[in-house]
Amino acid sequence: MACAFWLANDGRQVTVVDRDPAGDKSSFGNAGAVAVPEVVPASQPRLVWRIPGWLLDPLGPLALRPSHLPGMIPWLLRFLRAGRTEEVARIAALLSALNRRAQDDMLALLTSLDLQGDLHRKGALAVYETDVGFERDADEWALRQRHGIRCEVIDGDAARELEPSLGALVRRAVIMPQWSHVSDPKRVVDRLREFLLQRGVAFVASEALAIEAGEQPAVRLADGTRLAGASMVVAAGAWSGWLAASLHDRVLLESERGYNMTFAAPGIDVHRPLVFAERKFVATPLAIGLRIGGAAEFAGLAAPANYERAHSLVQSARRYLPGLPAEGGMPWMGQRPSTPDSLPVIGRSPRHKRVFYAFGHGHLGLTQSSTTGRLLAELVADRDPPLDLSPFSIERFG
């Protein structure tokens, strides 16, 4: 949708194909963070030693369905490779280059939608319950700081002064002023769709089955029709991999399923997003209530949701926010489109010079959405983008 926005803004005639244009995918229900400070990739040098503990913990941040494991092995091997110290440094620099533009690009998009007031620049507070946990993340904080991310370390009492709903458990916290959040991600996509319709962007509610290469790229649709255009952008989230494969472009892309629980009436005040750093989940105060979101579950695109994981998040959150009710939240599951190196795929197909890719944003798909659309519009117009996009190319998986 952000690609459609920037392409239409560039004067192009755009058609969006989505089997469910007003749907409920990741962009509808995410945690609403424009998480500029998140430049550290998921794979880390010593992470491998923590994975067994997480997998064994039913409340833990990671789950993997055993039947899904064999098909995931190439992705996992590449994930481990991305965790080498020099790779982490390279990836952080690339994420930082994207994220540095994210706030301004998001504001430009929201302003066009008359939603500029929906971007809240209140920063975020990352909280820790143990000194060991805080010290284990020292390298990550140092890496963020090397990329210009401002961080201020405070103790538990100072954290409770800022956020009185936090319990005694919290020992340390880090203030991240460059983090911002939107009032409601669903409102952003709904308004964006209305805006695009008013601007003459066409929506075709059909499933794309395959890309067909020809002089003009075309997409074969489930209703039997074929839609051709001067250029084509594949931006189908976690489903993009097999569309790229129909053009023989290889990518390592997993659905990293995440869960949320949104409390319309949480009974506690949270003033800014909270990041529970040791357990890898967040709480965002949205206009529609308090959203507790996180978890990484690898089970493939088709497996049914396991909403127990959303309830587990609430149990974990209640340790930090004792006033949070156990019941009454609305659960949701979304499929993050995740690459093993935490970098999105933004660029031209090596198989067809008029097919472009914009997917694989993992945990940062809202944050990097407008920036991706903006960069992509430059590529489609055959202009040089203001950022070298070669490290984001799908060719890295070739």
- Choice between 19 and 136, CB closer to ligand FAD: 19
d(CA 393, CA 389): 7
- Choice between 156 and 286, CB closer to ligand FAD: 286
Q: Which stretch binds ligand FAD (CB under 6 A): 64-72, 125-133, 236-244, 261-269?
A: 236-244
Residue 241 has φ and ψ, to the nearest 5°, of -60, -45
Q: How far is the CB of 160 from ligand FAD (least distance, A)?
A: 24
Nearest to 44 by CA among 362, 394, 359, 340: 340
Structure tokens at 131: 């000194």
345 binds ligand FAD (CB under 6 A): no
Cβ pair 202, 8 in contact under 8 A: no
Cβ pair 321, 281 in contact under 8 A: no
Which residue among 26, 44, 178, 339 contacts ligand FAD (CB under 6 A)? Answer: 26
44 binds ligand FAD (CB under 6 A): no
- Choice between 165 and 367, CB closer to ligand FAD: 367
364 binds ligand FAD (CB under 6 A): yes
**Helix 138-146 with 85-112: angle, nearest 10 deg:** 60
User: Between residue 189 and residue 208, which ones bind ligand FAD under the rule CB under 6 A?
Assistant: 207-208
What's 22's DSSP letter? T
- Choice between 231 and 339, CB closer to ligand FAD: 339
User: Between residue 150 and residue 179, which ones bind ligand FAD under the rule CB under 6 A?
Assistant: none
- Choice between 156 and 180, CB closer to ligand FAD: 180
CA 30 to chain centre: 8
Q: Which stretch binds ligand FAD (CB under 6 A): 11-19, 67-75, 126-134, 141-149?
A: 11-19
Cβ pair 180, 34 in contact under 8 A: yes
352 binds ligand FAD (CB under 6 A): no
Terminal-to-terminal C-alpha distance of the chain: 27
Q: How far is the CB of 387 from ligand FAD (least distance, A)?
A: 18
33 binds ligand FAD (CB under 6 A): yes
- Choice between 35 and 324, CB closer to ligand FAD: 35
- Choice between 266 and 334, CB closer to ligand FAD: 334
Which residue among 8, 31, 126, 343 contacts ligand FAD (CB under 6 A)? Answer: 31
Which residue among 337, 340, 347, 373 contacts ligand FAD (CB under 6 A)? Answer: 337
Helices (H), 147-269: 156-162, 185-198, 240-245
Q: How far is the CB of 209 from ligand FAD (least distance, A)?
A: 7
Q: How many residues bind ligand FAD (CB under 6 A)?
A: 36
247 binds ligand FAD (CB under 6 A): no
At residue 264's C-alpha, the angle toward residues 263 and 269, to 5°, is 75
**Exposure on the CB side of residue 120, measured as CA atoms within 13 A:** 17
d(CA 281, CA 347): 30
5 binds ligand FAD (CB under 6 A): no
User: Between residue 53 and residue 112, which ones bind ligand FAD under the rule CB under 6 A?
Assistant: none
d(CA 13, CA 33): 31
What's 250's DSSP letter? -
14 binds ligand FAD (CB under 6 A): no
CA distances from 326 to 289, 330, 370, 398 (A): 15, 12, 36, 47
Token pair 């499933």 is found at 207
Strand partners, 256: 298, 336
299 binds ligand FAD (CB under 6 A): no
Three-state DSSP at 340 gives coil
- Choice between 72 and 211, CB closer to ligand FAD: 211
Q: Which residues bind ligand FAD (CB under 6 A)?
A: 17-20, 23, 25-27, 30-33, 35, 207-208, 235-239, 258-260, 293, 334-337, 359, 361-367
